[in-house]
Structure 1
């Protein structure tokens, strides 16, 4: 029977070498000697009957067989981790690894959520990844992260998506902009303005395009950028207007560097979602954080926003 004699240690060693592309780094991470790492890889290749690694100069690459085995080695390691956390929970211990991903807009409040959650779980290791929408979806699909915070559930994956907080989107301007002190500005009036917009694939951009298209208003980009920080800096410099999450501009509003335009029908209220793959078996720590978001996330985000004293959302 193929792989009958493969051991968990061999799979763990192989996964480490595949991750770091280095026998030396894998040995250091696993607290083994480099000869011990080499021996485990040779035994594994002998048992499988196929080469898993190839050396090109000083670089280590996975063969096709190595790529295939890595998928299963990662699953084995995840299952062992989940089993350990489940058994620890049964013993009353609160430890484990929380692998959380968030789209870049959520990075402004995610630390407040983690800070409120962490004290009850001092032995938990938190691995927090921030990226654009496409990067986070890819990491979710490849099981690199267990939970995701984003504003629009991915259609390309089968997931469980649960809303836990409101997500207002607004139009920002420099305080020197001619419309800065106007009230009830028709959205159509902005059809002649230039906008600093997010890149293709961004959830914020998709929301902007939807609301403008729905009302028949054209968008004239002055610049396309890949970060909210660049949008804010460009708007402060007077290069155009920005369509952005209010959660990203609290400090700039409080210090008077930016203003929210009083546009009729805005802010656009969306939801923040906590998302995981439908077939994913959540570890006790991951399930605990998910429940924490659903129960307390909205309150924590609101309090964090109030500390920055943003202007009221209502556009009366």
Structure 2
């Protein structure tokens, strides 16, 4: 093992380790080459040289799938930690310079993409030298990224319980029932769950945080919805509702910041479903100065900004959307 480490430290370059860590994180040479702005042959050649330096194969191709060897996986994970430490050093030096440079990396579930940019705007104005990297995906995709731990924060409405993380609530996330303005139930003072269950329903896809919350609610109420269609996009659901294809349940934030023309919120018993947005990060990862400053900002000014916009538009539970 000592010879292996000695060979690695003598022959491997930081660039090769960066390439290896990126291939491991993204799962393919093609994706890594695009992320690093290199050609695929260049990536393959550098990995080959690195494998020769340690005297062990790093991976093999099984059909079209790239599978890491135990040696390759260990080196890639160690390289990831090395670059995380280097990034942390950059952040700490940036803090000494008054946060004039550095990076903040976020991965957020799709529904939070409606308000997260509104939080980021003022923060970026205050610290214009900071590079913001924002990745958006469904709940399962963000869980996968959390397990790799490449970003500073991960935004969930329902953080995973089987990963060792730190989680802090920063914003209420009410899920409301929406219908077209012409819907027969739109003018009702109160709609029962039995009435709701009879209506054609448009559901988010498996893996969505919104769907997870809805399913938890249905389980508690022992209720089954008349699901007509599964749709992978909040925007597509809103347009489908406006077109009369059915009703749905969405986060009120998708309506506050994503538009709500032609829609009403139905006043349904035991609704809205009240959840919260969480900032999550791996317990093993220390917050950089920039990440720590952003977290303070989110809990203070960022939250007030979003809540103020929420109230300004009149989009609060049990009120008709305007």
Query: TM-score per shorter chain, which class?
Result: 0.7 to 0.9
Shift in alpha-carbon separation, 1:251–1:236, aligned structure 2, 3 A: farther
Does residue 164 of structure 2 align to residue 158 of structure 1? yes
Q: 1:108 aligns with which of 92, 114, 138?
A: 114
Identify the residue that residue 79 of structure 2 maps to in structure 1. 73
Give the alignment's TM-score, normalised by structure 2.
0.83
Shift in alpha-carbon separation, 1:68–1:186, aligned structure 2, 3 A: same
SS at match of 2:13: helix
Shift in alpha-carbon separation, 1:115–1:315, aligned structure 2, 3 A: closer
1:53 positional shift: 6.2
SS at match of 1:112: helix
SS at match of 1:292: helix
User: Mapping of 1:1-316 within 5 angstroms?
Assistant: 1=2, 2-7=4-9, 10-16=13-19, 19=22, 21=29, 42=49, 44-52=50-58, 64=69, 65-250=71-256, 255=261, 257-306=262-311, 309-314=313-318
1:60 positional shift: 11
Shift in alpha-carbon separation, 1:188–1:38, aligned structure 2, 3 A: closer
Shift in alpha-carbon separation, 1:259–1:77, aligned structure 2, 3 A: same
Please give the alpha-carbon distance, in whole angstroms, between the structure 1 residues aligned to 2:274 and 2:252.
Answer: 10
Please give the alpha-carbon distance, in whole angstroms, between the structure 2 residues aligned to 1:253 and 1:210.
Answer: 27
CA contact (8 A) 2:265 2:318 kept: no
1:273 positional shift: 0.8
SS at match of 2:248: strand
Aligned residues: 307
1:136 positional shift: 0.1
Please give the alpha-carbon distance, in whole angstroms, between the structure 1 residues aligned to 2:19 and 2:98.
Answer: 30
CA contact (8 A) 2:115 2:257 kept: no
Render the CA deviation track for 1:126-146: whole Å, top value 9, x for unaligned.
110110000001101111322
- Unaligned ranges ≥5, structure 2: 24-28
1:63 positional shift: 5.0
Structure 1 residue ranges, 4+ long, deviating more than 6 angstroms after superposition = 53-56
Please give the alpha-carbon distance, in whole angstroms, between the structure 2 residues aligned to 1:55 and 1:220.
Answer: 45
Please give the alpha-carbon distance, in whole angstroms, between the structure 1 residues aligned to 2:76 and 2:292.
Answer: 26
1:13 positional shift: 2.4
Please give the alpha-carbon distance, in whole angstroms, between the structure 1 residues aligned to 2:267 and 2:52.
Answer: 69
CA contact (8 A) 1:113 1:297 kept: yes
CA contact (8 A) 2:164 2:282 kept: yes
CA contact (8 A) 1:10 1:40 kept: no
Render the CA deviation track for 1:249-277: whole Å, top value 9, x for unaligned.
2367653x111001233222221111111
Shift in alpha-carbon separation, 1:40–1:181, aligned structure 2, 3 A: closer
